[in-house]
Structure 1
Amino acid sequence: MSIFAPLLIAVDGGGTGCRAAIGTQHDGILGRASSGRANIGNDPEQTLVNLRSAVEAAAASAGLPVSALEGATAYIGLAGMNITRDEARLRAALPYARIIADDDRPACVVGALGEGVAGWVMAIGTGTIVAATDGAGFRYVGSWGFHLADQGSGAWLGRGALNLALQCHDGLMPHSDLTRALMADFGDNPDAFVAFSLTAQPGDYAAFAPKVIAAAKAKDRHAQALMEEGATYYVRALKALDFAPGDPLCLLGGIGPHYARFLPEDHLAGQIAARGSALDGAFHLVCKAAAGEVLP
Structure 2
Amino acid sequence: MDRLLSMRVFERVVNEGGFAAAARALDMSPPVVTRLVADLEEHLGTRLLQRSTRRLSLTDAGQQYLSRVRNILQDIDEADAVAHSQTTELAGLLRLHAPPVLASYVIAPLLAEFRKRHPKILIDLEVASLHEPPIEDFDITLLGTDDSFDGDVVARKVIESEGILVASPTYLQRRGRPQRPEDLVQHDCLAHKMPNTRPRLWRMWCPENPTQPLEIEMQPVLLANHTDSLLRATLDGTGITSVAMDIVAPYLNRGELVRVLAPWITGRLVMYAALPSRKFIPQRTRVFLDFLVEETQKQNARAMAACTAC
Larger Rg: 2
TM exceeding 0.5: no
TM-score norm. by structure 1 comes to 0.24
